[in-house]
Amino acid sequence: MSSYEYRRYPYRRPAELDGRSERRPVVIVGAGIAGPTLALALAARGLPVVLLDDDDSVSFGSRSICQARHSLETWDRFGVARRMVEKGITWEQGEVYLGDKPIYHFNLAPEPGHKFPAFVNLQQYYVEEYLYDRCLSEPLIECRFRNKVVGVRPGLQSVEVEVETPDGSYTLDAEWLVACDGVRSAVRHLLELPFPGEVFHDQFLIADIRFTSELPKERRFWFYPPFHPTNSVLLHRQADNVLRVDFQLGRDADPEEEKKPENVDRRLRQMFGPTASWEHEWTSVYTFTCRMMERFVQGRVIFAGDAAHVVSPFGARGGNAAVADVDNLAWKLARVLAGQSPPPLLDSYCNERRAAARENILNSTRSTDFITPKFPASRAFRDAALALARDFPFARALVNSGRLSVPTAQLGSPLDTPETDADWTGGPGPGRAMVDAPVGNGGDDFLVDRLGLGFTVLCFAERAGDLPALPAGVAGLMVAPPGAPLPGWTVLCDRDGLLRQRYDARPGTTYLIRPDRYVAARWRTPDGAALASALRRATATG
Amino acid sequence: MTDAISGALRRSLSLARPDDIYNAIVDAHRDLDDEQCRAFDARLILLLANHVGDEAVIREALVAARDPSRGGAE
Ligand SMILES: Cc1cc2nc3c(=O)[nH]c(=O)nc-3n(C[C@H](O)[C@H](O)[C@H](O)COP(=O)(O)OP(=O)(O)OC[C@H]3O[C@@H](n4cnc5c(N)ncnc54)[C@H](O)[C@@H]3O)c2cc1C
């Protein structure tokens, strides 16, 4: 049925079955989106990783299709983002309809000058395939397919993990266990940890179909379309001429009936007209929940991605939040394992990513309530916003067909140094993600390319004498007129002035950027002592 | 939502011809059934809320509309 060829990845008999075993610094459970991304981020920092998955293939079905800029920037560090961009569909525009009339159009990338677009649509099986390929070529990562975690015994300094394979069971001894095993997390169940949240009862039908004719690149969302008059429909393009059509079915639909090919075809026929033709890729009826664990770090066991929190699909926040989680976790875990920071640094992973999950759940719940109003007045206001949107521009901002994923703010983190200068009028403050900008004389050199795996100081200096002393191990990027190189500092060229603009920069403006590309501190005047103290705070070594 | 009464919402009369406006609002509902009234009111509230544009005023009005006894006379 699917045009995607599901490859089987090789199972190899683990050495532990033959009596060889050693303590592993990090064992990751789950090779979905979070697991392989974390494995690559740890291996890039020199750590050996064991990656376990109960299956031997990629995600069944296209599932998460909208890969956001921040995720692409992360994957670019491991050399997989370009492949995703080339294979996927770049889109930045969308259209919202009421009935058969467009009521407004949006553009997610109003400003140029980023290495990556706001979104690339690519099926989850391709994302995972490219991540697996990269993991399999990385000597520090041991991918163990058909290795299912069936037991977890947490200790004070390590965790024992019981794993089932086609050849029998064995025990792995891990300093840290990271559960990236999805919404039905086996590790969470085995440890009997609660997963509180809200259950939604509206049902949706995903029909992914392969089209042969020319397809729209933009996202289209209909409220009350003529071909599905009582509910909403989302249309989105993916790689290989695949379209995602997502029909809201309501609470009372019978999922088994709805999934039948003849019933799906009847809906699609009404939508696309008598001459269109398609083949089915993947069909699924889903409901969803919004849930979040109370603590993402439980002793030596850490939860990331859907295992830790889950949202509705509106806004493409599930997969992208999973990537942001492991981005946040990787550098902290690497520092703790190297003895550079004490284990409490990991508490900040929980604080920061719970704040992000709360924001994602809030946004996703608001979208859900707009798309599926729960009580009559809610529907009345929804319909009022829709009725006004075409002629009253303010009302377009109220129409909520999914607030698409942008990096969440992680405000109030203990790692951040609060601002003391009062005159900021823009740019990312502490707890916010860095923004990309061109930094070279040519067209394809970007700030994201210049951020390494450690901390970076970005300093807008007029004279070399203005530069603060660089703390050990921190990379220095200076934005200065050409021809003023300084030892230890790399000079960036802000040809179009976008860097200054996006960082609200004046001579002296200095940013401390974390390894996960979030801002830890910023100042109007560079000061070596303040920088060193902010760095101690950001690494929990102060 | 905070339900503190901050005093942002005006309590004294600011309409030049209060009877005219009051009756215009009522009359606009005259031939509408309940469902149409609800739709009409929702549109009207959104239009006016955007025009007011002041979050403190709107939040206070929400509290006062829900429970006028908490509106507090000046
Ligand atoms: C129908 C559907 C549609 C979706 N649409 C979107 C969307 O449009 N946009 C979006 O952003 N997100 C979407 N999502 C959500 C998105 O797919 C998830 O947020 C994302 O996959 C989370 O990644 P993860 O790595 O945390 O978990 P997963 O991708 O679920 O990976 C978990 C992995 O753990 C493995 N595993 C489980 N148990 C064990 C065990 N005991 N031992 C070993 N391995 C184990 C599984 O085999 C799996 O490979 C959708 C999900 C579904 C189901």
Cβ of B47 and A392 within 8 Å?
A: yes
Residues with CB under 6 A from ligand 1: A 29-35, 52-55, 63-66, 124, 148-149, 180-182, 186, 206, 284, 286, 305-307, 313, 316-320, 322
Which has the closest alpha carbon to A320: A143, A490, A74, A140? A74
pLDDT for A465 equals: 72
Pairing label, strands A141-144, A49-52:
parallel
Q: Can you give the three-state secondary structure of A129-179, one letter per residue?
A: HHHHHHHHCCCCEEEECCCEEEEEEECCCCEEEEEEECCEEEEEEEEEEEE
- Pocket probe for ligand 1: among A69, A306, A360, the residue whose CB has the most ligand atoms within 8 Å is A306
pLDDT for A18 equals: 94
**Minimal C-alpha gap between A362 and chain B (Å):** 14
Which amino acid is present at A513? I
DSSP for residue A435:
-
Instruction: Name the closest residue on chain B to residue A394, using Cα atoms.
Output: B50
pLDDT for A482 equals: 64
- Domain spanning A198-289: CATH superfamily: D-Amino Acid Oxidase, subunit A, domain 2 (3.30.9.10)
Query: Residue A169: exposed, middle, or buried by beta-carbon count in 10 A (0-12, 13-18, 19+)?
Result: middle
**Which residues from chain B sit within 8 angstroms of residue A395, using beta carbons?**
46, 50
pLDDT for B1 equals: 45
Percent of chain A topping pLDDT 90: 81
Pairing label, strands A301-303, A297-298:
antiparallel
Which CATH number is A409-542 given?
3.40.30.120
pLDDT of A380 strictly over 60: yes
Contact A162, A171 (CB under 8 A): yes
Which has the closest alpha carbon to A420: A274, A527, A502? A527
pLDDT for A312 equals: 87
| Alpha carbon distance A69, A64 (integer Å) | 14
**Minimal C-alpha gap between A384 and chain B (Å):** 5
Q: pLDDT (tens digit, 9 = 90+) per residue, A406-460?
A: 889 998 899 999 999 999 999 999 999 999 999 987 767 999 999 999 999 999 9
B73 — pLDDT class (breaks 50, 70, 90)? very low
pLDDT for A440 equals: 83
Percent of chain A topping pLDDT 70: 99
- In the predicted model, what is the mean pLDDT of residues B58-72? 85
CA-CA distances (angstroms) from residue A14 to A25, A152, B44?
17, 18, 68
Both tokens of A158, joined, read 């390590």
pLDDT for B74 equals: 42
Which has the closest alpha carbon to A430: A347, A522, A367? A522
Q: pLDDT (tens digit, 9 = 90+) per residue, A29-85?
A: 999 999 999 999 999 999 999 999 999 999 988 899 999 999 999 999 999 999 999
CA-CA distances (angstroms) from residue A171 to A152, A160, A165, A168, A428?
9, 6, 11, 11, 45
- Which residue has its alpha carbon closest to ligand 1 atom 29? A32
| Alpha carbon distance A295, A264 (integer Å) | 41
Q: What strands, in cross-sheet order, belong to the sheet with A278-286?
A: A101-107, A93-98, A219-223, A232-238, A242-250, A203-211, A278-286
Both tokens of A186, joined, read 């086996």
Judge: domain A15-89+119-195+290-363, CATH 3.50.50.60.
yes
pLDDT of B71 strictly over 90: no
pLDDT of A466 strictly over 80: no
What string of DSSP letters covers A289-315?
Answer: EEEE-S-SEETTEEE-GGGTEE--STT
* Torsions phi, psi for B27 (to 5 deg): -60, -35
Interface ipTM? 0.92
Domain ranges of chain A: 15-89+119-195+290-363, 198-289, 409-542
Q: pLDDT (tens digit, 9 = 90+) per residue, B2-38?
A: 445 668 999 999 999 999 999 999 999 999 999 999 9
